Amino acid sequence: MTHPILPAPFADLAPLAAHWARPSENERSEIRWSASPAEFKALYEAMMPRLDDILRLLSDHPASGMPEEVHDLFLLACAFAEASPHHELYGGSSAVPYSFDARRFVRTDGDAAL
């Protein structure tokens, strides 16, 4: 995603969406596996205070047939959900401590777009 479209109240999150929001889990995982502690922190600090508002807006739209700007926000919320443990629990590491390397687990349906 190079030019995300977000609802007006969340337009300032467009640079984060351009980096993090991807239509498939495999694509979001690639971003997450290469993220730095600073990138995890920036995503977390921008999204966490607004999460209630984001989820409230998303709850007003069915999963299928979302307007494009809402769908892009949904993808950013997915990326946040997948990345936030790296900030909260793993000290900004893209790896999970004391675990197998996540790249060893190959999802056969992970390329399906949301």
pLDDT tens-digit map of 53-109: 999 999 999 988 899 889 999 999 999 999 998 888 877 877 666 555 655 566 666
Q: Is 74 domain-assigned?
A: yes
Q: Is 97 domain-assigned?
A: no
Q: Is 62 domain-assigned?
A: yes
Task: Specify the pLDDT at position 110.
Answer: 59
Q: Is 103 domain-assigned?
A: no
Q: Is 106 domain-assigned?
A: no
The CB-side HSE value for 32 (13 A sphere, CA atoms) comes to: 26
pTM of the full predicted structure? 0.83
Q: Is 66 domain-assigned?
A: yes
Q: Is 101 domain-assigned?
A: no
Domain count, the chain: 1
pLDDT category, 15, cuts 50, 70, 90? very high
What's the mean pLDDT in 7-24? Answer: 95
What's the mean pLDDT in 40-55? Answer: 97
Q: Which domain holds residue 34?
A: 25-92
Provide the Cα torsion 5, 14, 83, 103; round to 10°: 70
